[in-house]
Amino acid sequence: MGSPPVFPTILEQAATGCNRRCARHRYLAGIVAAKPPSPRPCQGLLRSDADNDIKRRQAMTRRKHAILGALSALLPILAACGGGGDGGIDVAGGTVLQNATVVNTRDGALAAGMNVHVEGGKIRRITSQPLRATGGAQAIDVSGKYVVPGYLDMHAHAVESADRDPPYWPLMIASGITGFREESDSPANVERGKVLNQDSAAGRVLAPEVIFHGGEAHLNPAISARDASNAGAPSFDHLGAGWGLLMDCSSEEQTLRAAALAGSLKPPFPPTFVTNPRAYDGAQNAPYYQRILDTYDEARCVELSKVFAKNGTWQTLTLIRLRTQVYGNDPQYRDDPNLVYVDKSTRAIWQQVGDQFDKLPASAVTTLRQFYELQKRVSKLMKQNGVKIMAGSDFSGNMSIWLVPGISLHQEFRELAAAGFSPLEVLQMATRDPAEFLGRQSSLGSVEEGKDADLVVLDANPLADVANLDRIRAVVLKGRYLSSSALDKMKADAAAAIARQ
C-alpha cells in the first residue's frame, strides 16, 4: 500500500474504526478541496493495533513534510504577487493616493476604494490592492475624496503675461487647472510658451501646461456660421462672438445681416473696447440683437447644429465672458472678493468700463440680457444635437472684464450648469472633450494608468453637484502632490504680492 494522501491538519477527519482506516481522499495542492468518497465496508484488521499506530505516526510525519514543502514552493509566487499575505504591493517612489474614489469621465462610473500611484509625471498604477509606500514614496489618505483629471481651460490669454509678478500660474493651479489652451498664437507667444513648458518640466517653475492649437476662432460677422463650418472651420469661440452664429437662427438672416453690418459700430474703437465691447456698442447694436430675438427660428438652429455635428465644428462657449459683458457693472462682479488677486491698474480699468456700461439705456440692457439667455438656450440645443463643446473662460488680464485667472473657469462651470448641462457633462467639457479635440486621449482627459499625472482631488462627488468641482482638496501637477495648505499658501502669496504693488 502506498503513502496516504497529504492533507492540511485543519482538514483531518476525526474518523474512527473501520471508516478511518479505509477512507480515501482527494486534494488539490494550494487550493485544498477535501472530498471523501463514501466509506466502503470494513475488511477487518490486517495488522495488529501496534503496527497500525506506528504506520499512522509515520504517515502524519510524511504529511507534515509534504505540507512544508508545498508552502516553500508557494512563497516565491506569493512574493511576486505583492510581497505579503495581504496581497499588498510595495511602492518605493512617487505618491500613493490611498482609498480614493476615481471618477470615470467617459460614463460617470465611480470606482471606490482605489489606490492611485503616480511617479515621474505619469499614473503608474490604479488598483484596489493595498499599495505600501516605502523608501522615498509618500502615501496620502484620501478616503471619502474623489479623483478627477486636471481641468483644462480651453480659451485663455496668459502667455503674454508670463513674466508678470505675481504670475497667473498659482491661481490657476489652485483652481485645479493643469493645462490651458493659449489663444494668442503670435510667434513670440509660441516661443515663450515653449520655454515655459520646458521650465515647468524641469521643475524650475510651477505652471500649468501651455497648449497651442490654433488661435482665436471668431466668426466673421459677414459670413454665415453654416458657410464657415462647411468651409472647414474647426471650432468657434463665444458662439461666434457678437451676434455670432445666432444670426443664422433668424428667419430673416440675410436681410438682417446686411442691415446689421451697415448699421453697427465701426472702428476706430476706444482703447478699452475689447475689455467689454457691449459697454460701447450695446446701445447702437441693441436693435439688431432684438430683431434676432424676435425672428428666432429654432428649427433653423437645430439644422445649423446638425451641420456643426456633421462637420466636426466644435464650440468653446465662454459663457462667463458673455455674461460679464451684459452684466457689465453688476455688484457680484464689482464687489467680488477674488479681486484681491487683480492688480490695481486692471481693477481701475474694469471699474471705468463698468461705469461706461451703466450709461447704456435700460431698454438696451434688457435686450442684451435676453440675448444672453437665448445664447444659453442655444448652447444646450447644440449639445442635444451632437455638437461637441469645451469649457473655456477667456480670461486675459485687463482685456476681459471681471475675469480672474483660474477662478473664471469655475464661474464658467456654473454658467454651463445654468444653461442646463449636467455635472458630468460640465466635467467632460473640461477634461475628456478637450483631450479629444487636441488628439491627446492617450495622455489627457481621464484617470487611467499611463496617462499624465495631472489630477484634482475633490472633497465631494462632482457628479452630484457642479459646485463640487470647486471643492478642491489637493492638486497633482506633473506627479507633484500639492495639498490644500500648499494651495492656500499659493493664493495667499499671490494676494500679498498684489497688495504690495
> Which one-letter amino acid corresponds to residue 413?
F
Give the mean pLDDT of 34-54: 44
Task: Tell me the average pLDDT of the chain.
Answer: 87
Confirm if 420 and 378 have CB atoms less than 8 A apart. no
69-95: pLDDT as tens digits: 554 444 444 444 444 445 689 999 999
pTM above 0.75, yes or no: yes
70's enclosing H/E stretch is: helix 49-80
Q: Where are the beta strands (DSSP E) in 43-156?
A: 89-91, 95-103, 110-119, 122-127, 131-133, 138-141, 146-149, 151-156
Among 167, 263, 227, 211, which residue's Cα sits nearest to residue 434? 211
Tens digits of per-residue pLDDT, 388-425?
A: 999 999 999 889 999 999 999 999 999 999 999 999 99
Tens digit of each residue's pLDDT (9 = 90 or more) over 210-269 = 999 877 778 888 899 999 999 999 999 999 888 889 999 999 999 999 999 998 888 889
Reply yes or no on whether the pLDDT at 50 is more than 60. Answer: no
- Taking residues 133-152, report their average pLDDT: 97
d(CA 79, CA 10): 24
More reliable by pLDDT, 348 or 44: 348
pLDDT of residue 79: 41
CA separation for the pair 77, 3 (Å, rounded): 28
Q: What is the pLDDT of residue 28?
A: 30
Confidence of residue 2 (pLDDT cuts 50, 70, 90): very low
Alpha carbon distance 266, 385 (integer Å): 35
CB burial class (10 A; 0-12, 13-18, 19+) of residue 165?
A: exposed
- What average pLDDT score do residues 176-199 get? 96
Lowest mean pLDDT among 4-8, 357-361, 465-469, 477-481: 4-8
- Confidence tier at 458 by pLDDT (50, 70, 90): very high
pLDDT bin (cut points 50, 70, 90) of residue 54 is low
Domains parsed from the chain with CATH numbers = 9-78 (no CATH), 89-148 (2.30.40.10), 151-472+482-500 (3.20.20)
Where do runs of H (alpha helix) occur along 206-339? 225-230, 253-263, 278-294, 298-311, 319-326, 331-334
Q: Is 479 helix (H, G, I), strand (E, B) or coil?
A: coil
> Which one is predicted more confidently, 24 or 80?
80
pLDDT at 208: 98
Q: How confident is the model at residue 45 (pLDDT cuts 50, 70, 90)?
A: very low
Q: Could you give the 3-state DSSP secondary structure of residue 108? A: coil
Measured torsion, CA atoms of residues 413, 419, 424, 429, in degrees rounded to the nearest 10: -60
303-345 pLDDT tens trace: 999 999 999 999 999 999 999 999 999 999 999 999 999 999 9
